[in-house]
A and B are shown apart, each in its own frame.
Chain A
């Protein structure tokens, strides 16, 4: 039996003629005398025949096309990947581009976020101003008004902000005088004002004065161009005003306004003449503003939305636009 099992294990290889000569001879000898093993050999031979006779299947007609379509798709994908990420020399520009893009985006987001914050800051300060303005003599009412604010429960920090603003404004004021001085000739009144303001300017560092001066000029000019004065307000709250004056004769009205400017001791900062429109920027004391506007009404139709500063002695930067009716 044991011999038969060994023979059976070797029979498949015997069929393939893969056995060493000695083993082959031993099997042949065994088969002569063993009917079951001979039968198994016959069965093996038949099995092999059946297996080798198994028919081949044909690939479907679409097989090659479909396979190649997938292969082409794969090749395309590979080339795209190669183009962008491989080899290294092509990869670097992609990284640079990405970095620059992120940097630009960051700056843009930062800038767009800054604007609303400024507007919030500017609107919070002039809120109590209207109340002050409605009262009769502004100069006298300042200190009680301040007291009132404090009583109303304003925080100490807010007060500090107001107080800090005072000297800053005076510096700016004097700076504006200087601008005027260098730009054109001054009337004796103005010169007197200037002399009064001079010591204040001297007490401050020179570079800062120059800087403020520059800012005043810029904002004055900008006011003539920009219809939306929210930006101006954002830079220095409640001290800039716009007046639209509709007249029949622009140049005559301009002369009238010039006279009024002199009359109310205002200082002309700039004057711009465009087609059918004259824009004047003047600086005047806050308490003069109301009377000045009343006088302007005699010259032509005015469209004003006046708000006044908390500090009546503070100067107002007024932009008058004289347009033809």
Chain B
């Protein structure tokens, strides 16, 4: 009895489903509403994963196009947003790997060039149009946090971004990353501890 009710609840909750079905039936313009709804979150996930605004814009676009191309494969087993965010996480991880290869080739190790990286993050932070009132200290702190996030391993960074920045539930994260609930928790635990250690070193006394 409970299962059909739950399934119904899930379907009713997913407001995107209507537009997804339209897209699946060949209505390209319905996808615009989905882009409108999710663009900000998609961009922010990519931005926190990559630490670069322009790269994040490119990757978010690629992810949307990829989602459109395979929208017929979406079976409504999970929420559309979960399916969509899974794509952006994977695209961000792939892009990060590419950038690491490029940096290595150019002789700039991600770990060894902390100063350059931090400067880049700071500059990125300065161009935020949505934070005009933020003072210099805040922006600097934000840049330090972003830098420490970037120093985390991929598997820790993704859970931290999804849970502590984007506020997704453990269940959603487990679904998005296709890992067990317990794995999400243990990874998050280690990610937070690592971030705390990094920030203690960078900022000093927290």
Decide if B83 is an interface residue (CB 8 Å cutoff). Answer: no
Contacts of B167 in A (CB 8 A): 52
Cα separation A74 to B129 with both chains bound (whole Å): 31
Map CB proximity to A onto B49-62 as digits: 1 under 8 Å, 0 otherwise. Answer: 00001001100110
Instruction: Return the contact of B43 from the options A47, A48, A57 (Cβ within 8 A).
Output: A57
A70 touches B61 (CB 8 A): yes
A67 touches B43 (CB 8 A): no
Known: A12-B188, A63-B43, A71-B68. A54 touches B128 (CB 8 A): no
Q: Could you tell me which residues of chain B, from 110 to 169, have a CB within 8 Å of some CB in chain A?
A: 128-131, 134, 141-142, 145-146, 149, 160, 164-165, 167
Map CB proximity to A onto B14-35 as digits: 1 under 8 Å, 0 otherwise. Answer: 0000000000000010011001
Decide if B185 is an interface residue (CB 8 Å cutoff). Answer: yes
Contacts of B128 in A (CB 8 A): 55, 57
A54 touches B48 (CB 8 A): yes
Decide if B192 is an interface residue (CB 8 Å cutoff). Answer: yes
- Residue among B167, B185, B188, B192 with the highest chain A CB neighbour number at 10 A: B192
B53 touches A57 (CB 8 A): yes
Instruction: Return the contact of A59 from the options B60, B131, B160, B165 (Cβ within 8 A).
Output: B60
Map CB proximity to B onto A42-63 as digits: 1 under 8 Å, 0 otherwise. Answer: 1110111011101111111001
Cα separation A11 to B82 with both chains bound (whole Å): 28
Cα separation A74 to B64 with both chains bound (whole Å): 11
B196 touches A40 (CB 8 A): yes
Smallest beta-carbon distance B202→chain A, Å: 11
B192 touches A58 (CB 8 A): no
B188: nearest chain-A partner, CB-CB: A12
B139: nearest chain-A partner, CB-CB: A55
Smallest beta-carbon distance B137→chain A, Å: 12
Cα separation A71 to B39 with both chains bound (whole Å): 14
Q: Could you tell me which residues of chain B, from 161 to 183, have a CB within 8 Å of some CB in chain A?
A: 164-165, 167, 170
Known: A18-B185, A48-B164, A54-B48. A68 touches B31 (CB 8 A): yes
Contacts of A25 in B (CB 8 A): none
B27: nearest chain-A partner, CB-CB: A75
Smallest beta-carbon distance B25→chain A, Å: 12
Q: Could you tell me which residues of chain A, from 5 to 21, have a CB within 8 Å of some CB in chain B?
A: 8-13, 15, 18
Cα separation A59 to B44 with both chains bound (whole Å): 9
B48 touches A71 (CB 8 A): no
Contacts of B141 in A (CB 8 A): 50
Decide if A192 is an interface residue (CB 8 Å cutoff). Answer: no
Instruction: Return the contact of B57 from the options A12, A56, A63 (Cβ within 8 A).
Output: A63
B189 touches A51 (CB 8 A): no
Decide if A290 is an interface residue (CB 8 Å cutoff). Answer: no
Contacts of B165 in A (CB 8 A): 51-52, 54
Cα separation A207 to B136 with both chains bound (whole Å): 109
Smallest beta-carbon distance A88→chain B, Å: 18
Known: A51-B195, A54-B146, A71-B28. A12 touches B64 (CB 8 A): no
Decide if B36 is an interface residue (CB 8 Å cutoff). Answer: yes
Q: Could you tell me which residues of chain A, from 24 to 49, have a CB within 8 Å of some CB in chain B?
A: 40, 42-44, 46-48
Decide if A72 is an interface residue (CB 8 Å cutoff). Answer: yes
A58 touches B129 (CB 8 A): yes
Cα separation A74 to B26 with both chains bound (whole Å): 12
Cα separation A74 to B23 with both chains bound (whole Å): 13
Instruction: Return the contact of B160 from the options A51, A66, A71 (Cβ within 8 A).
Output: A51
Contacts of B1 in A (CB 8 A): none
Map CB proximity to A onto B187-201 as digits: 1 under 8 Å, 0 otherwise. Answer: 011101101100110
Known: A55-B128, A55-B131, A58-B129. A44 touches B64 (CB 8 A): no
Decide if A64 is an interface residue (CB 8 Å cutoff). Answer: yes
A64: nearest chain-B partner, CB-CB: B35
Cα separation A274 to B196 with both chains bound (whole Å): 110
Decide if B40 is an interface residue (CB 8 Å cutoff). Answer: yes
Contacts of B48 in A (CB 8 A): 54
Interface residues of A, Cβ cutoff 8 Å to B: 8-13, 15, 18, 40, 42-44, 46-48, 50-52, 54-60, 63-64, 66-68, 70-72, 74-75, 78
Which 8 interchain pairs have the tightest Cβ spacing?
Answer: A12-B192, A12-B189, A47-B196, A75-B28, A46-B206, A43-B206, A51-B164, A59-B39
Interface residues of B, Cβ cutoff 8 Å to A: 28, 31-32, 35-36, 39-40, 43-44, 47-48, 53, 56-57, 60-61, 64-65, 68-69, 128-131, 134, 141-142, 145-146, 149, 160, 164-165, 167, 170, 185, 188-190, 192-193, 195-196, 199-200, 206
Q: List 21 A-B contacts (CB under 8 A).
A: A9-B190, A12-B193, A18-B170, A40-B196, A43-B206, A44-B193, A47-B192, A47-B196, A51-B164, A51-B195, A54-B48, A54-B142, A55-B128, A55-B131, A57-B128, A58-B129, A59-B60, A67-B64, A70-B64, A75-B28, A75-B68
